Amino acid sequence: MRITLIPLLLALAAACVPALCGNKEQPVPQPEAPVGTRSHFAALDDVRLLANGLLQLGQSLREFVQKTKGQINDILQKLNIFDHSFYQLSVFASQIKEEEEELKKTTVVLKANSEEIKGLSVEISSKVDSILQEKSRLQNKVDGMEEKLRSLTHGLVTSEQVGEINSLKELIHSQERSITELLNAMREQSDQLNHQRIMIKTLEEKFTVNTLTQETIERMPEILNSEAPTLTPYLTSSSTSTTDMMNLPSDCSDLFNRGEGVSGVYAIRPTGTEPFMAFCDMSINHGATVIQRRRDGSVNFDQIWDKYENGFGDFQGEFWLGLRKIHALAAQGNSVLHIQLEDWKQGRHFIEYRFYLSGLESNYTIHLTHLSGDLADPMSNHTGMMFSTKDRDNDNHQDSNCAHNYTGGWWFNACGETNLNGRYFHMRPKGRSERRRGIQWRPGQKASYSLKLTQISVHPMASPSTTSSTSASSETGVFLRSSTRILQ
């Protein structure tokens, strides 16, 4: 900034000498000249000089402003980056703290275990000792008896008595053998316990030393505020032959019934609409058309109405199929909305609703009737809600724009407890209001918890094998594949 100021000052000085600063002396007229014309010319010269100076001044000012603007932009950008990194750091810090607490708990449990094992070990040792004493006492007795036997055999003992005594001797010997075996077993046990104790100890040390988990820093995508790629548009007759178009399945379930069993992207054509591409999940025994998937935060879901209406994201990763297409699917009737969720502890759950979605004229109002599933149902009282985005507030909240506050487009109520299009958090944010922006499914007054995986799909009610239990237990296909990819 200093560099740009110098030419500015120079220009100012140049402009200043005749015109501005010399204001007092300059207009003094020459004595011989005719006063009127002379001063008129002098004034013209002054004006010209002044104009020149002002022009220069203007030029320099413009340059100065341009440069300053650039610098300010630069600074703003840096501030943005700083803000972002700061946010990331705070997120990591809170995550690390939580992990630390969990580790502390584990350590306490391990310590208790270790104590218990130590006690056991000591007990076994003392038992072994007492058994050893017992054994030596027995040995003495045996020795004494043998001595007696020998002295007795010198006297008069019947062969019957000798046989009896011998069998007794045999009994004592076998008793001794079994005692030795028992001792060995106990010693082994004790060794094993000791070994376990040492293992626990090293584990414990590892935990306390290494409370910071690595690898957490590498993720956290730079996708906040980014615009999501538009999903493939409708297919046109120029891109597909007419006969092919006529033969397209009406949805993924139809395609499944025609014998296609592999999950993937296919062209479908719901009754009465143009054909389009959709992701088919064929892993659940009936073929479902996937309308939303979250799994790694690679797509920014905080998008405007237009994006939510037409779809965005990437079929291979995260996407939103688009309200127009979802409406077309639901308009075929008998639709079931299947929602699969997975939390960060690998707990997988689902819920199903009878589902209908109105069209644009009613802002894609959702109609739900709870059917089944092992998830609590916070959505039933969203039935009849219009879709809202940050640029189209159709929620039931008087003073707030829920989509703006909580990010992502959804059937917000006031604002309600669900938002599967919220922000994807790889770890729990520190602030409550930030957490509330996450991917939510909160029945009742439960605290905010941002989910790890979501998949929303639709399929017709009619299919015979769509019972809830099969769909819940057979999440082996796409959903599981995507989760293993995350876990790697």
Ligand X SMILES: *[C@@H]1O[C@H](CO)[C@@H](O)[C@H](O)[C@H]1NC(C)=O
Interacting residues with ligand X (CB under 6 A)? 362-363, 378, 381, 392-394, 397, 400, 405, 413-415, 444
- Nearer Cβ to ligand X, position 249 or 416? 416
The C-alpha atoms of residue 179 and residue 317 are separated, in whole angstroms, by: 67
- Can you name the residues that pair with 369 across neighbouring β-strands? 354
| Sign of the torsion angle spanned by Cα atoms 407, 409, 413, 419 | negative
- Nearer Cβ to ligand X, position 285 or 363? 363
- Nearer Cβ to ligand X, position 272 or 444? 444
The least CB distance from residue 375 to ligand X, in Å, is 13
The least CB distance from residue 72 to ligand X, in Å, is 26
The least CB distance from residue 400 to ligand X, in Å, is 3
- Nearer Cβ to ligand X, position 310 or 405? 405
Instruction: Give the list of residues 6+ apart from residue 368 with CB closer than 8 angstroms, or none.
Output: 337, 353, 354, 355, 379, 380, 382, 383
Q: Are 390 and 403 in contact (CB under 8 A)?
A: yes
The C-alpha atoms of residue 395 and residue 386 are separated, in whole angstroms, by: 7
- Nearer Cβ to ligand X, position 26 or 405? 405
Q: Are 353 and 369 in contact (CB under 8 A)?
A: yes
The least CB distance from residue 353 to ligand X, in Å, is 14
Instruction: Give the list of residues 6+ apart from residue 39 with CB closer than 8 angstroms, or none.
Output: 27, 29
The C-alpha atoms of residue 68 and residue 85 are separated, in whole angstroms, by: 25
Residue in this structure with the two tokens 């409406």, named with its chain if needed:
327
| CA count, 13 A, side-chain hemisphere, 97 | 9
The C-alpha atoms of residue 296 and residue 125 are separated, in whole angstroms, by: 54
- Nearer Cβ to ligand X, position 319 or 412? 412
- Nearer Cβ to ligand X, position 446 or 485? 446
Q: Which residue is nearest to ligand X (CB)?
A: 400
The least CB distance from residue 372 to ligand X, in Å, is 17
The least CB distance from residue 405 to ligand X, in Å, is 4
The least CB distance from residue 404 to ligand X, in Å, is 7
